[in-house]
Amino acid sequence: MSIFIQQVQLNQKRSDILIEGSRIAAIGEKLTAAADQIIDGRELIAVPAFYNTHTHAAMSLLRGYADNLELMEWLQKHIWPAEAKMGAEHIYWGTKLACLEMIKSGTVFFNDMYFFPQRIADAVREMGMRAAIGMTTLEASPNAELIRQNNEAIWANRAKLPKTITLTLAPHAIYTVCGETLAKLADFASRENLKISIHLSETQGEVEQCKADHNGMTPVEYLDSLGFLSEKVVAAHAVHLTDSDMQLMAARKAAIAFNPCSNMKLLSGLMPFRKMSDAGVNVTIGTDGNASNNSLSMFDEMKAAAITAELSAQTTTACTAEEIFTAATRNGANAFGLDAGEIAPGKLADLMLLDAHTPCLVPSHNLLSNLVYSADSSCVNTVICDGRILMQNRQVPGENEIIDKATEYAAML
């Protein structure tokens, strides 16, 4: 499959982009090429697509449920009981709804932590996206044995997954998974070359409880004492980190998934973006799930990330639009070993084409500033992932069925 995008705006000039297979083959002015599909890009702007580094996709079925509660009350009294009613088909259609929402807003990859991973993989494959699908560990769950069996099943069938889907280890948090298990998972990840996702230092209460339980160690120090921290780790939230925690994360080359909207909505706090970046930590951006955000739009997340970075540092110079956009694109791709996140020859063909005449992109004094502070999903005309068109002219194949089925399965809850 080849795609030829003609006369698109790229880096403030007109260019042609030739995609062959899964990669960008050439970029230049007045290219000539035969292609399976030609896109007239004269009214479009090409930018890298988004990489959502932390979410719980099937929680799209819980959008708007149990809002405005404290984190642990929200989890223990509302979310976990609702999740106990969710079967494999709930997860499948909830994931498809999440994929639809992400594609519509320019996201081509997400890092997921949820249940029934095989049905998540089925949904992702059918939608054409990339995903890192977590094999969740949640020892505190009454369904822990079922979760383990489902993990074993998808692991046994991993050779059948498409190249756009990888498996990760996903221990929920230090307060739901014991230290012995965390250490074993870290060893397994090292042997099998797997990424690990975990919620980390999301609340001050989590930090204080960890100190009380583990000889004064912070969650970061505790994980490091287990041999858990490494370049394979992508830690979600990381709101309450000390300066030494940040230095330790940087030394171990662990990445952070910054979830500003969820952090604010659940009153978890403000992650110190400037201090984290200056410490040398790879800061990426994720949305968290729809039950705690309640959107999967990375446009919303970028604006919130920029504003909360300023609030936490108490200065309007805490970050630039370029830093935030890079966190949402190239940093996320790098965290998961994807040769993507920028539009350049040889890179994976993951990009979105924006409508240059969308009101929130006009005028264009600074495109990156517009993308971070004013753009929304209405700007996105076309989304390409791995050299395949997932959406064109804002139309995604099968979207009406997805919405109808998701509505039906959400009603069952």
pTM over 0.95? The answer is yes
- pLDDT, tens only, 146-200: 999 999 999 999 999 999 999 999 999 999 999 999 999 999 999 999 999 999 9
DSSP one-letter string for 221-236: HHHHHTT--STTEEEE
Contact call for residues 70 and 95 (beta carbons, < 8 A): no
Contact call for residues 224 and 200 (beta carbons, < 8 A): no
- pLDDT, tens only, 193-252: 999 999 999 999 999 999 999 999 999 999 999 999 999 999 999 999 999 999 999 999
Segment (H or E) for 372: helix 367-373
Segment (H or E) for 241: none
Round to whole Å and give the CA distance between 401 and 413.
19
Q: Name the token pair of 156.
A: 């046994």
CATH annotation of 2-47+354-399: 2.30.40.10
Q: What does DSSP assign to residue 84?
A: T
| Residues whose CB falls within 8 Å of the CB of residue 136, separated by 6 or more in sequence, listed in order | 113, 114, 115, 117, 147, 151, 170, 171, 172
> What's phi and psi for 153, nearest 5 deg?
-65, -45
Round to whole Å and give the CA distance between 123 and 131.
10
The domain locations on the chain are: 2-47+354-399, 50-335
CATH annotation of 50-335: 3.20.20.140
